[in-house]
Amino acid sequence: MLKIWMYSQQFIPSEKNKKFAKKIIVCYSNIRGLNDLFKIENKFMLNKLIQYIKDSKRELKKVVWPTKKEVQNHTFLVIGFSLVVAFFLGMVDFGLTELVSYILK
């Protein structure tokens, strides 16, 4: 802070110089305060992130995971249903294509 005052004194040699230097010092102090505030905020955010990860791990331990047989059954069910829907949509598409071509002829 003293360096700022000395720096301003070189360029403004008068009584205003002290007021100017005080303003600069106050601004500098506020900036340092903001930096400290950002450091605290970053530390707070880091603590929140760490707490989130810990909570996530704790929740994952509570999960009841499906057995291999259940996963296989559900996989075959999804594949079968997808094939049925694909066949149905294919037939609708084919039917509409034929209908439009018949109307346009």
pLDDT tens digits, 45-102: 788 888 999 999 999 999 999 999 999 999 999 999 999 999 999 999 999 999 999 9
Regarding whether 73 and 38 lie in a shared domain, the answer is no
Tell me the HSE value of 29 on the side-chain side, using a 13 A CA sphere.
8
Under 8 Å between Cβ of 24 and 8: yes
Enclosing domain of residue 9: 1-63
The residue among 39 and 70 whose pLDDT is bigger is 70
Regarding whether 49 and 7 lie in a shared domain, the answer is yes
Entry pTM: 0.45
Under 8 Å between Cβ of 25 and 4: yes
Give CA separation, 89 vs 80, 82, 85, 94, 100, in Å: 14, 10, 6, 9, 16
Regarding whether 69 and 56 lie in a shared domain, the answer is no
Regarding whether 52 and 7 lie in a shared domain, the answer is yes
Regarding whether 95 and 54 lie in a shared domain, the answer is no
Regarding whether 52 and 95 lie in a shared domain, the answer is no
In angstroms, the CA 55 to CA 1 distance is: 45
Binned at pLDDT 50, 70 and 90, residue 39 comes out as low
Q: What pLDDT is stored for residue 9 in this prediction?
A: 46
Regarding whether 69 and 54 lie in a shared domain, the answer is no
The total domain count for the chain is 2
Regarding whether 41 and 9 lie in a shared domain, the answer is yes
Regarding whether 74 and 59 lie in a shared domain, the answer is no
